[in-house]
Amino acid sequence: MIKSVPPAFLFIFGALLIPFFKGKLKPWYLLAVPVIAFVDLLSMQTGTNWVYPFLNYELIFAKVDRLSIVVGYIFILIGFLAILYSIHVRENGQQIAAFLYVGSSLGVIFAGDYFSLFAFWEIMAMSGVFLIWYRREKESLDAGFRYLLMHLLGGGALLIGILIHAFSKGSISVGPLEEGWAFWFILIGFGLNTAFIPLHTWLPDGYPEGTVTGSVFLSVYTTKTGVYVLARCFPGVDFVAYMGGVMAIYGVVFALLQNDTRRLLSYHIVSQVGYMVAGVGTGIALGVNGGIAHVFNHILYKSLLFMCMGSVLAMAGKRKLTELGGLARKMPLTCLTCLVASLSISGVPPFNGFVSKGMVISAAAEVRKPILELLLTLASVGTFLSFTKLCYFTFFAKNETIQAEEPPWNMQLAMGVTAFLCILYGVYPQALFNLLPGQPVSYHPYTASHVVGVLQLFLWGGVLFMLLRQVFAPHEGTVLDLDYFYRMCCRGIAWLASAVMNKFRQDIQTYFSRTVGNLTRLSRNPMVLLERLSGYPGLEATGISDTKRHHGWSRDQIYNENRYRKSMGLGVLIAILMLFIYGLIYVLQSRLG
């Protein structure tokens, strides 16, 4: 007997009821949905539920195990806090999009087959783009279209891989894949959502252009569902492990170059997801647990960072570091919570990022991948430098002209609770270890050597920042990413289609149009052919003046079909009469003979 409902359905159907709630009742309804979903999740039992036959396969909407449970917990928890942060938003459309986005992400997490996973995957892409478009600016509309096109590309690759897998294996159950065409197509589809390099550009392009509240949701779900399905289908793949290392260092380098605060945070999503991907790629229990633990922790501090920078944008009206500064006194709570999130993402003890990041780096060392370990360690230093830059130039740099105040109470409350959780899971990591799929977790983060080594690393990073502060200072300008080459390729394709292929089409069309026109005139009066062969311009004589000018023919020489057209009525009548007379004579002769 089924005692619970897949949490995805609660959010998706809950989204449809949002327009019916008005006034003071509406905020309570919005907060009630994630609470009900969390209680429902607590009652879910391990195994497969909500199974329905489809063709020769089975659709599974509730595959419940420790991996889906721990990701489901954090998805619903941060969904509640993000809704609390955005409770003041009055647009039903934006709230519906957020609920569909959260619900479809949960649908992916609990999907036990590739078909239902793909359906939720596409709902997630379609609903997420509205959180960008609702900002209603040209940059947001453009970024939203690029976001959508990239995800449609990834969805197409994923669907091709699923179909190949279904026909070749006769199964659509979600699980580890054998190398082949399906393996690579599905990996590309998952990799785009996970922001693999070079498929990552939709993320730093789209997330900064979302609404203040929409970007909080966006920072959580899409990339983390990607990490989840990688853990399901591609654990222990070396390509995945090293891709994680490349993502970690690539994201940090581009984050350090940014002036836009939310673009800086977006590049750090790429970097931090790299740690999760690397952990999954190692394939060992410590690495996979570390990757999932980093999913949990990252969702907390990254959503908190987007809350803080969203509050700065909403209250100060600015998001560039060159325009900010001096906000520590005007927005003290926002400053404090941003510092907590910055220390968490940097991996400073005793904050939560220190625990999960240490697990992933230790796993890389355990599987003897020194290059991967080096990349992840360097990325940690770069992260610390990047967030030292963010906090200093946003809150502590001198700026006497800026005007701002703390955001509304709901935004402050959401930031405060999220900051508390960042500290809680750092001080007491066992609370997180108890949820992880690989039990028991034999990792002890607070060893003397680990703590001292990390603190020394960050101490030297801090000294480096102070000595080279002018180098790290934000500057105006555009930093080109790989999307520049995408756009150049697209422009080349557009030129090839319009200037080359379209011209070729026009030439063919013109040739056949002339041929068909000539045949039409020839069938209308076959005498044209004889006159053409006899030396008259015939078929070219569509205009007397043009023909005279080009060929030198006189008006009498030029063919004109009206000139030779005679009345045919009398001739036909005579022919019929003669035929009748001939027939009559023939009949009489046969009778008399």
The predicted-structure confidence for 205-221, as pLDDT tens digits, reads as follows 999 999 999 999 999 99
Question: How confident is the model over 62-70, as a mean pLDDT?
Answer: 94
Cα–Cα dist 190/157, whole Å? 9
Length of the chain counted residue by residue: 593
pLDDT of 78 higher than 50:
yes
Mean pLDDT of the chain: 87
pLDDT range class, residue 157, cuts 50, 70, 90: very high
Find residue 260's DSSP bridge partners: 320
Backbone phi and psi for residue 54, each to the nearest 5 degrees, phi listed first: -145, 115
Which long-range contacts (C-beta less than 8 Å, at least 24 apart) are formed by 13-22? 14/99, 14/103, 15/95, 15/96, 15/99, 15/100, 15/103, 16/96, 18/92, 18/95, 18/96, 18/99, 19/92, 19/96
DSSP reduced 3-state for 279? helix
Torsion of CA 266, 101, 187, 486, to 10 degrees: -50
Q: Does an H or E element contain 51, and which? A: strand 47-54
- Backbone phi and psi for residue 62, each to the nearest 5 degrees, phi listed first: -145, 85
d(CA 587, CA 593): 10
Q: Say what the alpha-carbon torsion angle 136, 140, 144, 150 is, to the nearest 10 degrees.
A: 180
Over 90: is that where the pLDDT of 500 sits? no
Whether residue 418 is predicted with pLDDT greater than 50 in this model: the reply is yes
pLDDT of res. 541: 45
What is the pLDDT at residue 261?
94
* Rounded percentage of the chain residues whose pLDDT exceeds 90: 69
User: pLDDT for 525-581, tens place per residue?
Assistant: 665 565 555 554 444 444 444 444 445 545 444 445 455 444 555 566 667 677 777
Residues 46/64, Cβ–Cβ less than 8 Å: yes
What is the per-residue pLDDT across 158-183, written as a single tens digit (0 to 9) for each?
A: 999 999 999 999 899 999 999 999 99
